[in-house]
Structure 1
Amino acid sequence: MSGRAFHGTYEEERRYFMTTLHAQIDILKDNHKGSRKMVIGSLGLLLLRVEGLRMSGQARYDYDNPNWTAKCNKLYERVQYFRDTLVKDRSSTSRIADDIQSMMIFLDFCVPADIQYRIQPDRGDRSGAPSPEPRR
């Protein structure tokens, strides 16, 4: 039997990672008693999931493996920094929440060939409702 840990599909791993990371922002901003310790634990679990995200991304985009490895190594470093800072500095909760939020704005697991997440030119109204005026 292989020594590799199980990982889900790219979509499952990405969704889990992004949802969990986003939840940490709200938990840190609420600043309830015990929330810092809870986020430290969650970030530790996310560190374990980076490898699954890397493997599922490489399975989906097998032509771009070096890029995926670099992205996931950087992601691992950032999450580890957030966790270690929260462990060492009790007053860092709001700063780390802001840092995570800033990172998520620029966090992109998509490669150019991933058209599902690419912005399409001339898509018109994104609501899906028909345009009130016909296009010519």
Structure 2
Amino acid sequence: MKKRIQTDNAPAPTGPYSQAILEGGFVFISGQDGIHPNGESAGETIALQTEAALRNIESILKEAGGSLENLVFVTCHLDDLTEEKANEFNQAYRKYFNQVEKKPARITVGSQLLDGKVEITAIASIDR
């Protein structure tokens, strides 16, 4: 049975969607931008925005009863895929996943984002 996941420790949705949905043991997390839960920008760099997006994902997973360890697939949208910006993104991303034994599968794509430099969506498997 589909369950909506919502936490005050991540930004509230700005449109007609949920932060995440739990269904069939999987958590489907909507795109998280580089903003703090209060809606303020985390800063102008890809690194700061990546860290904020991953903190938001971590908070949503915690609300669902999981952690970064539960992630199975991550889609990362960057507004700039130059080597320099991709390296900056990877350094920030690595901080969150160095301790994760089984890192999630991932795709990183260049996207025209409405606001910000980063948006990350994720799928996690939560055993219930």
Instruction: State if a TM-score over 0.5 links the two structures.
Output: no
Greater Cα radius of gyration, structure 1 or 2: 1
State the TM-score, normalizing by the size of structure 1: 0.29
Higher-RCO chain (CA-CA 8 Å, sequence separation at least 6) = 2
